[in-house]
Amino acid sequence: MVSGMIIGPDQYLMGSTKTYVGVVPATRLTSLTGQNGYISNAIGLSLTPGQVKVLLLS
């Protein structure tokens, strides 16, 4: 699949099954992301923490 989108939106594909924020699973430091659109054509992961006060490892 080829996409003409550069630096498109991303979405988390997998979150924690033990910790929820509201009704959505919390994302971990190494959660998988799909990138470049709603139907993702590239897989990545988060390597930088969004906040340093809470580190979710589950």
Say if residues 37 and 9 touch (Cβ distance below 8 Å). yes
E strands in the chain: 10-12, 20-21, 24-25, 32-35, 42-45
In terms of residue numbers, what domain contains 32?
Answer: 10-45
Q: What is the mean pLDDT of residues 4-16?
A: 78
Identify whether 5 is part of a domain: no
Identify whether 35 is part of a domain: yes
Identify whether 58 is part of a domain: no
pLDDT of residue 3: 65
Identify whether 53 is part of a domain: no
- Reported as a pLDDT band with limits 50, 70 and 90, residue 25 is confident
State the pTM of this model: 0.58
- Reported as a pLDDT band with limits 50, 70 and 90, residue 32 is confident
Query: Does residue 2 surpass a pLDDT of 70?
Result: no
Residue 38 backbone zone (phi > 0: left; psi -120 to 50: alpha; other: beta): alpha
CA-wise closest residue to 57 among 12, 49, 33, 34: 49
Identify whether 32 is part of a domain: yes
Identify whether 16 is part of a domain: yes
Total count of domains within the chain: 1
